[in-house]
Amino acid sequence: MVKKILSILLWVATAAGLVVLFVFARENYLTTPLKSIQLIPAADTGFVRKTALHDEIGRICGKSNIGTVNMIAIQKALESNAWIENSASYIDLDGTLNVSFQEYEPWFRVFGKNGHSVYVTREGFVIPSSRTYTPYVLVTSGNFELRSDSVTYQLTDTLESDRNLLNALHWCEAIEGNDFVSHCIGQLYCNKRNQFELTVKGFDGRVIVGDTCDASDKLKRLEIFMKQRVESPETKTLKSINLNYKNQIVCTKR
């Protein structure tokens, strides 16, 4: 009986000692100065200037100990960055603040009527352009009403101002779905009647595709025409190619 009591007391003392050691180690860890800040981008797309982001997080941290680092403020700073899609941050056992983040990936660039430009992602998010980074993507211009603020937002079909951008998104999907045409397109243009036109490499005239109705079929007809007629001398005399008519290609001479 005595041995059993002694054994229980030994286990209780050991557990208490471990708790004391844990509390001491935790307190020692939390009062240790933050060692460094490490940025971990998921992909180097170029919008986020790592030096500027590192300095911003550094100002938030200041000379804080690990236990007093304002992780909420750091997360808010990451969320307020218009080019960061998602992020996470944590402090490891070595005292390093690790900040991982993923940038939005632009799909095409849009120049609006006011000269302002934005990028649109595959998922329909509109992100601001950058003065320091210009990715190589398809360019769209023309009759677009763009917001002048530098925030990221998602397109919606309930807003009139977003409809042309949504149609441009659908056209980019159709263009990507046609391997031949995707290598020929130079630019996508939205005219004053909200009808779309294409600039095609090797052809000086306009290619009118209109709205997004039967977009894939229109591009397939363009593919057939380009393969059969692009080298023809007559093609050089054309002012426009109109694909708006079902099962037809209507050409206009200069």
The model's pLDDT over 36-76, given as tens digits with 9 standing for 90+, comes to 899 988 877 789 989 999 999 999 988 877 778 888 999 99
Give the whole-number percent of the chain exceeding pLDDT 90: 46
Listed in sequence order, the residues at least 6 apart from 236 whose beta carbon sits closer than 8 Å to its beta carbon are: 204
Closest by CA position to 152, among listed 103, 188, 99, 101: 103
* Cα–Cα distance measured from residue 8 to residue 94, given in angstroms and rounded to the nearest whole number: 36
Question: In what helix (H) or strand (E) does residue 228 lie, and over which residues does it extend?
Answer: helix 215-229
* Cα–Cα distance measured from residue 66 to residue 29, given in angstroms and rounded to the nearest whole number: 7
- HSE value, Cβ hemisphere, 13 Å, CA-based, for 89: 22
CA 41 to chain centre: 13
The model's pLDDT over 207-252, given as tens digits with 9 standing for 90+, comes to 999 999 999 999 999 998 888 876 777 777 888 889 988 888 888 8
Domains and CATH numbers, the chain: 36-103 (3.10.20.310), 106-253 (3.40.50.11690)
Closest by CA position to 202, among listed 227, 174, 175, 173: 227
The model's pLDDT over 7-27, given as tens digits with 9 standing for 90+, comes to 554 454 455 444 444 443 444
pTM of the complete model: 0.83
For residue 196, which phi and psi values (nearest 5 degrees)?
-95, 145
